[in-house]
Amino acid sequence: MGDVVAFPSRPAPQTPEPEPLWREAVGHELREERRTAGRTLADVAGDAGVSTQYLSEVERGLKEPSSEVLGAVAGALGLRLVDLTTRVSRRLTGISGPVCLAA
């Protein structure tokens, strides 16, 4: 019988972290803005014309809100939709400088 040849073991491939979903990043930004402003869910939901439960689910990334709802919630927080979109884009890309959005 021959000699046993030992091969060096290769490290197991690392599974990359899943990218956050758009709805999760949007929810995070909305919640952060609401808390920074010192406002309650009920207050912002009322101004935006959505239920408190729905806004809570949006903030937790559980719901995929329409552009109309996003615009209403952003407006209730004193944000333009483009400002919210820019913040979300920065969060997802990790870019802190200017972001160019193309349609």
Which domains occur in the chain, in start order?
Answer: 22-90 (1.10.260.40)
User: What are the CA-CA distances from residue 82 to residues 32, 39, 100 (Å)?
Assistant: 17, 21, 11
Mean pLDDT, range 12-28, rounded to an integer:
84
Q: How confident is the model at residue 95 (pLDDT cuts 50, 70, 90)?
A: confident
Query: What's the average model confidence in pLDDT over 64-83?
Result: 96
* Full-model pTM: 0.75
pLDDT at position 94? 83
Q: Which of 62, 34, 66 is nearest to 47 (CA)?
A: 34
Length of the chain counted residue by residue: 103
List the helix and strand counts (H, then E) for the chain: 5, 0
**Up-side HSE of residue 101: CA atoms within 13 Å toward CB?**
11
